[in-house]
């Protein structure tokens, strides 16, 4: 029977870690992810897990610890945010290129400057091309469920994975949650006993050699194939998780999209606010829908494009700015996925919520209003827009 509790997102992640009982955790504190290793170190001190906890001098050291542990055949986890993730930058690529299954909780927070400790997605979106799988959560429940699934996905794909949630919004906000029994979680993830780990003395390998030109590109091609091959693994693990819990997950969630005329694509906790707007507008007789993207790496290009093509106009919302002069990272991938389709909708972008700027139901109302204008006038206008900038809706 499921265990009902009230937990913050950080507590939920630490609880998932306790139930998984990883071999090694490399940890260095940074707001707003600090509570995760704090809670987890308490479990170690109380004898609830037998994880080797390695408190290091920096986030660079935390990822180095995980790389060494994973290369030695251990199940390794860590947690970080913002500048901490940026300090790991070099080693993100090392972990991915070595095909090491490391599970990292990323509590999304803006990057400096100016200094800001609140939520946006600039940290993980900045690392989107590092070769890590990325899964995002709307709620505390999803953060917990995603972490448990993420361990298995990472190990089956032999790729590291980021399990992302919104800083302070879910990480520190307390909500009702259904926990899985400890023994079921242990059975779900199983014992990690890799046959061919890198530092196996019985099968000596040269690890991390200089990749000269005739060989480097083949390594990257294999990484790309592994990312592509992870798509059925993600769905297989989701099916296994559904069988255990009754909670269904996929690459994305379609919310009231069956007869929608316009829709929004969004990642993270803002989807909950968007769903409330959809419900209110539906009650007023307006046919609106929402797509909440869960898996950003690998990017589910074909199924997502098919979902967006159900409507005539779609707004893609980015909580990160790529400074490309053509929109945010999510928008550019969504719009690109529509390129070859004949019945593609108009697609516009909103940059929103940077540095923790609030977005309200009324803001979603305005976006849907704009989409209906596009739908009726058959003209997208400016496709690169800002939402919630002081004194003006757009820059």
How much is the pLDDT for 226?
Answer: 98
Query: Residue 178: how many CB atoms within 10 A of its CB?
Result: 15
How much is the pLDDT for 240?
Answer: 98
**Separation CA 218–CA 224 (nearest Å):** 10
Beta-strand runs (E) in the chain = 3-8, 24-27, 52-55, 76-80, 102-108, 133-136, 161-166, 174-179, 252-255, 262-267, 288-293, 295-297, 313-318, 346-351, 384-386
What's the 3-state SS for 103-167? EEEEEECCCCCCCCCCCCCHHHHHCCCCCCEEEECCCHHHHHHHHHHHHHHHHHHCCCEEEEEEC
Phi, psi for residue 352 in degrees, rounded to 5: -145, 165
**Separation CA 232–CA 173 (nearest Å):** 33
* Residues paired with residue 313 on neighbouring β-strands, in sequence order: 262, 346
**Separation CA 61–CA 151 (nearest Å):** 21
**Separation CA 71–CA 64 (nearest Å):** 10
What confidence tens digit (pLDDT) does each residue in 128-180 have?
999 999 999 999 999 999 999 999 999 999 999 999 999 999 999 999 999 99
How much is the pLDDT for 208?
Answer: 73
What confidence tens digit (pLDDT) does each residue in 211-259 have?
899 999 999 999 999 999 999 999 999 999 999 999 999 999 999 999 9
Output the average pLDDT for the chain.
96
Shortest CA distance to 318 belongs to which of 169, 172, 155, 120?
120
Q: Does the pLDDT at position 181 exceed 60?
A: yes
To 5 degrees, how large is the angle CA 150–CA 156–CA 159?
70
Confidence of residue 209 (pLDDT cuts 50, 70, 90): confident
Contact assessment for residue 64 and residue 26, using Cβ atoms and an 8 Å cutoff: yes
* Of 26-30, 44-48, 70-74, 196-200, the least confident: 196-200
Confidence of residue 18 (pLDDT cuts 50, 70, 90): very high
Shortest CA distance to 180 belongs to which of 243, 240, 235, 244?
244
Q: What is the pTM of this model?
A: 0.97
How much is the pLDDT for 387?
Answer: 94
Shortest CA distance to 166 belongs to which of 97, 115, 106, 210?
106
Q: Which residue has 């930058």 as its token pair? A: 89
How much is the pLDDT for 127?
Answer: 98
Average the pLDDT over 305-315 and give the result. Answer: 98
Average the pLDDT over 57-67 and give the result. Answer: 98
- CA 106 to chain CA centroid, nearest Å: 8
Average the pLDDT over 1-20 and give the result. Answer: 96
Average the pLDDT over 25-46 and give the result. Answer: 98
* Residues paired with residue 317 on neighbouring β-strands, in sequence order: 350
How much is the pLDDT for 392?
Answer: 56
Domains and CATH numbers, the chain: 3-245 (3.40.50.970), 252-386 (3.40.50.920)
Q: Does the pLDDT at position 1 exceed 80?
A: no
Burial class for 287, CB neighbours closer than 10 Å (0-12, 13-18, 19+):
middle
What confidence tens digit (pLDDT) does each residue in 342-395 have?
999 999 999 999 999 999 999 999 999 999 999 999 999 999 999 999 865 544
How much is the pLDDT for 361?
Answer: 98
Average the pLDDT over 14-35 and give the result. Answer: 98
Shortest CA distance to 110 belongs to which of 135, 86, 136?
86
**Separation CA 335–CA 316 (nearest Å):** 9
């Amino acid at each position: 029977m499921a265990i009902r509790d009230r937990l913050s997102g950080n507590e939920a992640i630490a609880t998932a870690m306790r139930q998984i009982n990883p071999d090694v955790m490399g940890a260095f504190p940074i707001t707003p992810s600090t509570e995760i290793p704090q809670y987890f170190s308490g479990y170690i001190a109380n004898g609830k897990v037998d994880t080797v906890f390695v408190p290091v001098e920096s986030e660079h050291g935390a990822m180095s610890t995980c790389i060494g542990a994973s290369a030695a055949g251990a199940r390794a986890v860590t947690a970080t945010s913002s500048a901490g993730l940026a300090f790991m930058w070099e080693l993100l690529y090392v972990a991915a290129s070595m095909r090491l299954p490391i599970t990292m909780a990323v509590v999304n927070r803006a990057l400096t400057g100016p200094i800001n400790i609140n939520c946006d997605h600039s940290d993980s979106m900045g690392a989107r091309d590092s070769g890590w799988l990325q899964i995002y959560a709307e709620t505390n429940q999803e953060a917990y469920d995603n972490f448990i699934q993420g361990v298995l996905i990472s190990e089956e794909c032999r790729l590291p994975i980021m399990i992302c949630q919104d800083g302070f919004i879910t990480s520190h906000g307390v909500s009702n949650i259904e926990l899985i029994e400890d023994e079921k979680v242990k059975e779900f993830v199983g014992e990690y006993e890799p046959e061919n780990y890198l530092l196996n003395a019985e099968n000596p390998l040269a690890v991390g050699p200089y990749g000269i030109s005739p060989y480097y590109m083949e390594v990257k091609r294999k990484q790309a194939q592994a990312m592509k091959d992870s798509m059925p693994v993600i769905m297989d693990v989701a099916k296994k998780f559904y069988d255990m819990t009754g909670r269904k997950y996929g690459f994305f969630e379609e919310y009231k999209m069956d007869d929608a005329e316009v829709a929004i694509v969004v990642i993270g906790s803002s989807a909950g606010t968007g769903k409330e707007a959809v419900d209110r507008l539906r009650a007023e007789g307006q046919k609106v829908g929402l797509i909440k993207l869960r898996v950003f790496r690998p990017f589910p290009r074909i199924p997502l494009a098919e979902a967006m093509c159900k409507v005539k106009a779609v707004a893609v919302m980015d909580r990160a700015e790529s400074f490309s002069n053509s929109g945010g990272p999510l928008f550019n991938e969504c719009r690109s996925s529509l390129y070859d389709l004949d019945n593609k909708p108009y697609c516009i972008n909103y940059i929103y919520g940077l540095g923790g700027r609030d977005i309200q139901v009324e803001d979603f109302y305005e976006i849907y209003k704009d989409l209906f204008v596009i739908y009726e006038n058959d003209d997208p206008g400016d496709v690169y827009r800002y939402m919630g900038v002081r004194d003006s809706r757009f820059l």
